[in-house]
């Protein structure tokens, strides 16, 4: 955040930590989140209030490629798809949005599809992870996990007995490829591991929109604490 001018993004070399590139004019007042793509040649940034701009950069050229308004409220997270070139996901206050870089008559544009919660309670979305086929697994404030497919919720994941995956908000979601598990961390202080294949192949139970799954392992990291990052 900068009080006297629009903020810059500064990129440094490593391990020397010398200033290498400066990206300008990506937002008016402050940035809320940044992410590189898998190849490392593009950077996505999202501005905070008042513009909430999603900007894609060719950062080595200090050049803006595309930009679009991400949402009308705070955006917490942006990620490039690790599987599909030109796809991104953003999430934040009461929303998740799925983006594609699309060729149009007027050139390349960002097209965003807002996820529809339907009968599921609207939730802030802090974390998400993409599946190899393009589905996206997201967190909720109430502890369940939501599997998105094409902008719609395919299934809600809970523990047996319809207990949420965490007691309280889920704030960490990642795919640990070495163990092929989905790793979650929550406001209840637990880290839980879930079988990736069971999550990826999840289908709702008959006459329901949820599926109960059991974690393969769990650990209480800190009594009275919450897991914010892994």
Q: Which of 191, 192, 194, 193 is nearest to 221 (CA)?
A: 191
**pLDDT score for 1:** 58
The length of the chain in residues reads: 230
Q: Find the Cα–Cα–Cα–Cα dihedral 203, 207, 210, 213, rounded to 10°.
A: -70
Token pair for 91 = 């999430």
Residue 123: which residues within 8 A CB-CB, separation 6 or more? 94, 117, 140, 141, 142, 146
- Domains annotated on the chain, with CATH: 115-230 (2.130.10.10)
- In 3-state terms, the chain is what percent helix, strand and coil (to 5)? 5, 50, 45
32: pLDDT strictly greater than 90: yes
Element (H, E) at 78: strand 75-80
The verdict on pTM exceeding 0.75 is yes
Q: Find the Cα–Cα–Cα–Cα dihedral 184, 188, 190, 195, rounded to 10°.
A: -40
Taking residues 48-76, what's their average pLDDT? 97
Taking residues 90-104, what's their average pLDDT? 95
Confidence of residue 105 (pLDDT cuts 50, 70, 90): confident
């Amino acid at each position: 955040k900068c009080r006297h001018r629009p903020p810059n993004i500064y990129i440094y070399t490593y391990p020397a930590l010398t200033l290498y590139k400066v990206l300008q004019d990506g937002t008016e007042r402050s940035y809320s989140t940044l992410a590189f793509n898998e190849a490392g040649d593009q950077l996505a940034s999202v501005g905070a209030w008042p513009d909430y701009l999603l900007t894609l950069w060719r950062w080595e050229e200090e050049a803006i490629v595309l930009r679009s308004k991400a949402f009308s409220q705070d955006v917490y997270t942006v990620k490039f798809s690790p599987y599909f070139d030109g796809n991104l996901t953003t999430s934040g206050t009461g929303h998740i949005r799925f983006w594609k870089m699309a060729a149009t008559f007027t050139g390349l544009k960002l097209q965003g599809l807002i996820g529809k919660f339907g009968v599921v309670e609207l939730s802030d979305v802090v974390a998400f992870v993409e599946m190899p086929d393009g589905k996206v697994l997201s967190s909720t404030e109430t502890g369940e996990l939501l599997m998105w497919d094409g902008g719609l919720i395919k299934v809600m994941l809970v523990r047996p007995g319809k207990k949420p995956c965490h007691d309280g908000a889920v704030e960490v979601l990642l795919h640990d490829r070495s163990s092929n598990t989905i790793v979650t961390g929550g406001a209840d202080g637990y880290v839980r591991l879930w079988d990736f294949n069971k999550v990826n192949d999840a289908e709702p139970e008959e006459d329901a929109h949820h599926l109960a799954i059991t974690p393969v392992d769990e650990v209480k990291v800190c009594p009275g604490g919450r897991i914010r990052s892994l």
